[in-house]
Amino acid sequence: MENSLKGLILAAGTIITCVVISLGFFISREAKETAANGANQINKLNSEFVESDKIIYDGATVSGSEVVNVIKKMKHDEVGIYVVTNKSKTYYGYEFDISSGDLLKKADSGYEEACVSTGSKYINPYADFRGKVVRDSNDVITGIIFTQ
């Protein structure tokens, strides 16, 4: 009887040990998934923060003076600004493919041309423009379209 009792205790100890080890693996797998989800959310927030200076114009109505300020502010960034006025359609910074978002080449027009009131590329500071952000296939903002 003493040997059978020791055998039962040994069997119970083995089962308990297996349950504890299984529980440990389960908890570590859950923790790994939770950490991966947290890292993905942090990366998403970080990319949104980096793009915050451009994304604010998506769907927003801004004045022409704000459009001119955006052109001036982003003239050194690798982003194109496409402005559609009642007189012209002009790229600033970089030209980009509107449908795919791919950057094409450096634009010929500059900030100064948008400020000359007698020029065809003049942006009226009192006009209203609707903004739209353009992304490439890698989900990077490559352009902003402002339509009067």
| Interval 7-33: pLDDT, tens | 778 888 888 888 888 888 888 888 888
Same domain membership, residue 116 and residue 74: yes
Q: Are residues 67 and 94 in the same domain?
A: yes
What pLDDT is stored for residue 144 in this prediction?
Answer: 92
Q: Are residues 61 and 133 in the same domain?
A: yes
Q: Does residue 1 carry a pLDDT above 80?
A: no
User: What would the mean pLDDT of 35-52 be, rounded to a whole number?
Assistant: 76
For 69, the token pair is 């300020």
Looking at the 3D structure of the chain, how many domains does it have? Answer: 2
- Please choose, from the candidates 109, 82, 84, the residue with its C-alpha nearest in 3D space to the C-alpha of residue 96: 82
Range of the domain at 93: 57-147
Q: Are residues 85 and 119 in the same domain?
A: yes
Q: Has this prediction a pTM greater than 0.95?
A: no
| DSSP secondary structure code for residue 139 in this structure | S
